[in-house]
Chain A
């Protein structure tokens, strides 16, 4: 059964069409979610895509969290169903309180678009465990991707196995010179407590098609597809 993956479109979302295409590439069924609707279009998993929702003129993601679609996404997440926030989507998840911390201006004070490496940490989301230490090549493109949080929150993320990815050297070493934005602890992506909401600054949807470059994004999207498939099956069984 092909899982249905919904991709939210806010005004100013740019990578929504790219996420839809990547989902199709991965063999799942992509569907659009319009920001003004409370309807998730029957999605088994949701992507909040990259871009500049509402222009991001206030704080990144600060307005999008109030969109009607976000109320539905919140309920969806609270049911334990999988949500992936990419870049602006990660920022929206933090603003919505579905993930802790905040994403602030890059240390270099400039937008940065480049292919970087991230290392999967010893963490797990629902139905998937990334193999710890594995290095994925994947692009970042953001001006405000520096993850910050109070020390106790950072400690909790670390202790709870909730740091999904860290920026690293190509060989997996942690080295701040490979951290593109100055994130605390080189953090590139984190889980919520329950392991069903993942936010990350790098763009997995831009790293699936080998004709365009590295394919480190496939594994990240695979988590979403797997979790969506399991939960879709589970809810189908419950319904019976």
Chain B
């Protein structure tokens, strides 16, 4: 049988419908030494899609730093992992699910959560936290409100039900995201380092057990049709390509897989996500240098008459592929029965590197696993710096006159959707389940979420950051700032930044301007990661985020994890007592370019993003870490979107105590000092009596420090400029999103 050629007729131009170019089709023919049959062609189309193969991004991603003593698992696995010490590992990854969410926001976002959770699970880790960086069009448009509301409900609906807390993320709005919302999801998991499941996990003779939901026609073509093309006018017709989530099945699947891992029954565990069974089998066998016999008749189906290609590329959710030694199959099946999930032996690993796929007794495909998983073409796509960029960047916003009182500008920025409280979002997420959330949305605004390692005093701080305006005006700086800001957010709570995962959201890579922005963003990210000692352990590229002439801002998003040795020493960001000296760490330059103030008050998305001195940034992180260790700070808060004015107001609102501020005279107009988004800054309040130590440490560490005010009262006062009562500020800050969404607001 194995020597026979698979059945099937020659395929003419079907490959184009499946998303392969003529040249790629010829390459497939070359790999096989013959023309592929339709089943084989569908497998190649899925695995060689941009989404699965990274064919346009690979040469750029190779430049990122991926190594460090803390890295246990780098890129190339389902998720990366870093060492937390004491035998514990932190597994984490971020992914996008933007295209499905644009078409069906609830299910698109829900299944995005499901997919990233299974990636972390497949490393043998318990998923312990989720974070969701999101981008939408402005909320004055009804479609944008529908997408925003649907995505948030979908994330909550799925995440709450599977019992993994959603503890952070960010939401930003820009017109370019109207037709192309960006939905990124990060998952973090914990595992015993010696129990991590690495791929390759199998050996010849190991079997593959398909666990979980049955396989249906949902999600066919998800990676090739949906994720690897731009969305056209008739995008709603792709709705059948969006998968439907069943969080209950995922919930049970998580517990089941963790039990299989605890009982040491697994050689490997592979998630069935994009490209379904084809991806799971080909990746795991290719990594092991093996092949497999695959029996499609063993796959439980939702409906009769499914074609082999449908079974092979279905993206039905809540399925995992367990790689198991034959002697353990009976025990695996018993545990699956206990949890009420199906377990079917669908494949057996074999030497030789070929995948033999059988259906109804016939050989329907014979393909080298490596050709599918590792030998997709790699493109060096043409790049061109956009001609319009310089004109926009030269806009000198610092000289632009301020037409409204500075107090009004402050309230406008504080209540702008890019700055205002996202409580409307976070309250729809269960941020407490699992009982380890030390800092999360329920404890108020925080720079980073903090999750305790159960039964220890260690904790992991997590932040996701990205700035689309920066990406639009300087993608290199956007990449670098995303790393710097996420590291700063983690450092602000007292953690040492460890490593990053990245999600790169861009337009069509076949356009040279998009590709240029992509390569710049990756270059910036790489430089920042090297300078801050935080390697990249994996991530995801999302291209084709455009429709018509409108592409999303180049949006590199970073998910950072940091380690806190003793969570009882973490630093919160609210002013909770009066009489504390408030300091600004870092230097403020006249930088309004690409900022919140420029867009909200001046109506401009132009100018240059703030410069980034990576060494100064690193010094700030070291200082913040040391301050936490010595318990010098009553509060610390990152100073970024909306500048110093917003950072001070947020600390006051978070702790419920006002502040009186005298701006240091650095020769800038007041509004520049208030709203400049200069990097590498933080607002801190010293513990009483520890001011001298803080000042000395800052001087020693080479971090500029200025005493800017004192806490107390119930007003935010900028001396000589204006003052706002805390309660008025809260109304503006908390009320912005509920007002736009027309929702009832709870008190308290």
Q: List residues of chain A with CB under 8 Å of any chain B CB.
A: 11-12, 14-15, 17-18, 21-22, 50-52, 54-57, 107-108, 110-117, 139, 141, 143, 169-170, 175, 177-178, 180, 203, 205-206, 209, 211-213
A52 adjacent to B247 (CB under 8 Å): yes
In the complex with contacts A11-B339, A52-B247, A177-B746 CB distance below 8 A = yes
Q: How far is the CA of A169 from the CA of B251 in the complex (A)?
A: 35
A203 adjacent to B247 (CB under 8 Å): no
Q: Is B387 an interface residue (CB 8 A)?
A: no
Q: Is B743 an interface residue (CB 8 A)?
A: yes
A21 adjacent to B427 (CB under 8 Å): no
Name the A residues within 8 Å of B427 (CB-CB).
Answer: 110-114
A11 adjacent to B340 (CB under 8 Å): yes
In the complex with contacts A110-B153, A175-B747, A11-B252 CB distance below 8 A = yes
Q: Which of B340, B433, B746 contacts A114 (CB 8 A)?
A: B746
Q: Is B509 an interface residue (CB 8 A)?
A: no
Q: Is B76 an interface residue (CB 8 A)?
A: no
Instruction: Return 25 A-B CB contacts under 8 Å, by A number.
Output: A11-B251, A11-B252, A14-B433, A18-B434, A21-B435, A22-B435, A52-B160, A55-B248, A55-B249, A56-B161, A111-B153, A111-B160, A112-B428, A112-B746, A113-B426, A113-B430, A114-B748, A115-B442, A117-B748, A143-B160, A169-B748, A178-B747, A180-B746, A211-B568, A213-B443
A-B contact count (CB 8 A): 117
Which of B162, B432, B747, B748 has the largest count of A CB atoms less than 10 A from its CB? B432
B747 adjacent to A169 (CB under 8 Å): yes
Q: Is B447 an interface residue (CB 8 A)?
A: no
A57 adjacent to B248 (CB under 8 Å): yes
Name the B residues within 8 Å of A12 (CB-CB).
Answer: 161, 248, 251-252
Q: How far is the CA of A111 from the CA of B152 in the complex (A)?
A: 10
In the complex with contacts A113-B428, A116-B748, A211-B438 CB distance below 8 A = yes
Q: How far is the CA of A112 from the CA of B430 in the complex (A)?
A: 8
Q: How distant is A179 from chain B, measured CB to nearest CB, in Å?
A: 8
Q: How distant is B201 from chain A, measured CB to nearest CB, in Å?
A: 27
Name the A residues within 8 Å of B249 (CB-CB).
Answer: 55
Chain B 338-352, CB-CB to A under 8 Å as 1, else 0, gives 011000000000000
Chain B 410-445, CB-CB to A under 8 Å as 1, else 0, gives 000000000000000011111111111110011100
Chain B 144-181, CB-CB to A under 8 Å as 1, else 0, gives 00000000010011001111000000000000000000
A14 adjacent to B251 (CB under 8 Å): yes
Q: Which of A52, A139, A177, A180 contacts B442 (CB 8 A)?
A: A139
B743 adjacent to A111 (CB under 8 Å): no
Q: How far is the CA of A50 from the CA of B165 in the complex (A)?
A: 14
B153 adjacent to A170 (CB under 8 Å): no
Q: Which 6 A-B pairs have the closest CB atoms?
A: A55-B248, A14-B163, A177-B747, A18-B435, A52-B161, A141-B430
Q: How far is the CA of A52 from the CA of B433 in the complex (A)?
A: 12
Known A51-B163, A113-B431; further 8 A-B contacts with Cβ < 8 A: A11-B340, A12-B161, A18-B433, A18-B435, A52-B160, A55-B161, A177-B747, A209-B435
B160 adjacent to A114 (CB under 8 Å): no
Q: How far is the CA of A224 from the CA of B426 in the complex (A)?
A: 32
Q: Which of B252, B430, B432, B436 contacts A111 (CB 8 A)?
A: B430
Q: Which of A52, A112, A139, A213 contacts B251 (CB 8 A)?
A: A52
Chain A residue nearest in CB terms to B164: A14
Name the A residues within 8 Å of B431 (CB-CB).
Answer: 113, 141
Mark out the residues of chain B between 114 and 161 whose CB falls within 8 Å of any chain A CB in the assembled complex: 153, 156-157, 160-161
Q: How far is the CA of A54 from the CA of B162 in the complex (A)?
A: 11
Q: How far is the CA of A205 from the CA of B436 in the complex (A)?
A: 12
Q: How far is the CA of A209 from the CA of B433 in the complex (A)?
A: 14
Name the A residues within 8 Å of B162 (CB-CB).
Answer: 14
Q: Is B544 an interface residue (CB 8 A)?
A: no
Q: How far is the CA of A213 from the CA of B439 in the complex (A)?
A: 9
